[in-house]
Amino acid sequence: MKNEKLIHDWMVSYLKDRLSRDYNDVKVNLGTESKNEYRGHYPDLILGNHGLVLALMEVETEDGITPEKADEWKSLTGLGAKLVLMVPKASKAKVVDLLWNKGMAGKVSVGSYEISVNMP
């Protein structure tokens, strides 16, 4: 889908604004930019409070849910912070299946999003 990057970047920006209520320090890596590093990795969002990183968040679109991407998620689970994945609602079962197959179902939290357009 040609708008996947737009959806991804919009979701990251939305989550940054939304999560800044719960976390004092929200760092973002939009698109291919690698400004905010955590232990050699550049997750979409790095969530912290009082100098401690509490969670890492990755936003995925339908095209980004692959076994290769799951290997990247696995490397993030070993960094000491909770990993949260935000995936399209329709792809949540596929993501959970990938997590089970890679042996990390208990280490990752999965949230979902959907974009709804209601026409008259």
Taking the domains of the chain in order of start, what are their residue ranges?
A: 4-113
pLDDT for position 71: 93
Tens digits of per-residue pLDDT, 69-104?
999 999 999 998 999 999 999 999 999 999 999 999
Q: What percent of the chain has pLDDT over 90?
A: 83
pLDDT for position 1: 55
State pTM to two decimals: 0.90
Q: b/e string for 16-49 if b means 16 or more Cβ within 10 A?
A: beeeeeebeebbbbbeeeeeeebeeeebbbbbbe
pLDDT at 48 over 90: yes
